[in-house]
Amino acid sequence: MRLSRAFLPTLKETPAEAQIASHRLMLRAGMVRQTSAGIYAWLPAGLRVLQKVAQIVREEQDRAGAQEILMPTVQNADLWRQSGRYEDYGEEMLRFKDRHQREMLFGPTNEEMVTDIFKDFAKSYRDLPRNLYHIQWKFRDERRPRFGVMRGREFLMKDAYSFDVSQEAAQHSYRQMFLAYLRTFARLGLKAIPMRADTGPIGGNLSHEFIILAETGESQVFVSQDLLDLDPLADTPDFASDLTPHVDRWTQHYAATEEMHDEAAWTAVPEAKRVSARGIEVGHIFYFGTKYSAAMGLTVQGADGKPIIPEMGSYGIGVSRLVGAIIEASHDEAGIIWPDAVAPFAAAILNLKAGDATCDALCGQLYAALGADAVYDDRDVRPGQKFAEADLSGYPWQAIIGPRGAANGRIELKRRATGVREELSLEDAIARIRGA
């Protein structure tokens, strides 16, 4: 993308409504634009990041055996009356009527719908297990939307739903998602910590929140350093095998949010290993048994001919929230520092003297080699502005090309995260950017 032609409305000053870093930076970097309280339009730079996050989420869901579908945003109220949640959900549910006066709603989640869809398919225990997910916009009419895309009313969520023949089988599905989540967040460049969560009225202990550490996090978390030292990508499990040992590695260490904090267990953690920090919830998984399958009338026939009510779980990742959360976890005074995996562009090519034949030629060669994964700042503006905006937008690499170096075919490559600069040939610069 040539910046001279791009729709990238960066701001030098911060809009007054933005309080936290990610919101400020997303507005300044031209990623989003607010259209109503808690509702945002995604502009090209923001959309690219959102799509990259979604794609990683998708790949890891697929790897764990879940299958992608796409359910609608608008649902019929009758579906929700079957589970009894139409009345329970309250003001957070956006309700409206269609032209025939039918009561409709904008889906805040999809347990009822997915169960209803699955019901028509599943006849036999042989049709289990299945795990269906989609990545779709949700609407929850929050009392107080805030923090930009981190607590919007409309948000993009990945929600998966598992159907199993027994509790034991359902726990296997749960572990698959548990490990898939660890891999997902690690690939996004985040350190996510699974924490036991309150299961609410369902009971049992199978609910975990996945929380990333960031100074501006909403909740206080307590975690053992041993847990932070684990690498989710180090051992890739066979998702069909018994996953218990893999999950146990992660659940044996202390980790809790304020609500679940156990002072006695905490003091048992060696003092040097106690990490107390702020966290942002980016994922939440539950096992909830037959709550929805029973309510929606989902049964399959067992091997003995008797009906079985499938055991279910649901698994959510806040995709649009993650974009904000990543920035919270990775920024500095100058702007965003994107992890390589989700950066809108891998590199920015800064032509310090657009119009100079030598600079133009070298920039053109690099741009041709990097293609769609690079932005080329070919604008006729001061170098200082290019530096400032490239730092703000957070591209992992900045290829700085000015008259001095270009005369010798040299490119100055700056790593955004570290500030380290190297002088490289065209070929070496291309290799460095591609190799990251």
Q: Which residues bind RNA (CB under 7 A)?
A: 10-17, 19, 28, 34, 36-38, 140, 142-147, 150-153, 155, 157, 200, 209, 218, 281-284, 316-318, 320-321, 334, 352-353, 382-385, 387-389, 391-392, 400-405, 412, 414, 421
Cβ at position 264, least distance to RNA in Å: 23
Cβ at position 206, least distance to RNA in Å: 14
Cβ at position 400, least distance to RNA in Å: 5
* Alpha helix segments (H runs only) across 288-329: 291-295, 319-329
Residue 138 CA, distance from chain mean position? 14
Token representation of residue 162? 């598992």
Cβ at position 39, least distance to RNA in Å: 7
Token representation of residue 388? 């400032």
Quick one: which of 186, 148, 173 has its CA closest to 19?
A: 148
Quick one: which of 130, 128, 91 has its CA closest to 108?
A: 91
- Closest to RNA by CB, 172 vs 321, is 321
- Closest to RNA by CB, 4 vs 236, is 4
d(CA 301, CA 244): 28
- In sequence order, the 6+-apart residues with CB closer than 8 A to the CB of 379 are 3, 4, 354, 386
Cβ at position 92, least distance to RNA in Å: 8
Tokens 């702007």 locate to 335
Strand, helix or coil for residue 59: helix
Buried-state track 270-307, b at ≥16 Cβ within 10 A, e below 16:
eeeeebebbbbbbbbbbbbbbbbbeebebbbeeeeeee
Cβ at position 225, least distance to RNA in Å: 24
Cβ at position 383, least distance to RNA in Å: 4
Cβ at position 353, least distance to RNA in Å: 5
Residue 369 CA, distance from chain mean position? 30
Quick one: which of 332, 309, 195, 336 has its CA closest to 257?
A: 195
d(CA 284, CA 278): 17
d(CA 113, CA 361): 56
- Closest to RNA by CB, 129 vs 405, is 405
d(CA 74, CA 139): 10
Strand, helix or coil for residue 340: coil
Cβ at position 127, least distance to RNA in Å: 28
Residues constituting the chain: 436
- Closest to RNA by CB, 128 vs 221, is 221
Token representation of residue 427? 């070929």
